[in-house]
Structure 1
């Protein structure tokens, strides 16, 4: 990952985005990893905003 060029960064997470066994995304990048391939990473603020599907907001208990 080249943090100096966030729009050109490549990478992947072989245990999926969640890292939780049984989650639908647990192994969805494993095949790419096994083939030595990478995915484009969304690191630039505008790129993240353009590709965000949902957000999670954690609030402390009241």
Structure 2
């Protein structure tokens, strides 16, 4: 079991969850713009970091 690949998958899933939550807040026309911006940016960072970890980790079986 590759720890980097697993951690990358977890980061990707957390990023997707953050982006979905941001989309939900946008659809509800929430006035918490600071909250939306923070969650959206952190979601993007997690998503792209997770994708990068999964892509750049070699399988060594």
| TM-score normalised by the chain length of structure 2 | 0.27
Higher relative contact order (CA 8 A, sep 6+): 2
| TM-score normalised by the chain length of structure 1 | 0.27
Greater helix share, 1 or 2? 2
Greater strand share, 1 or 2? 1
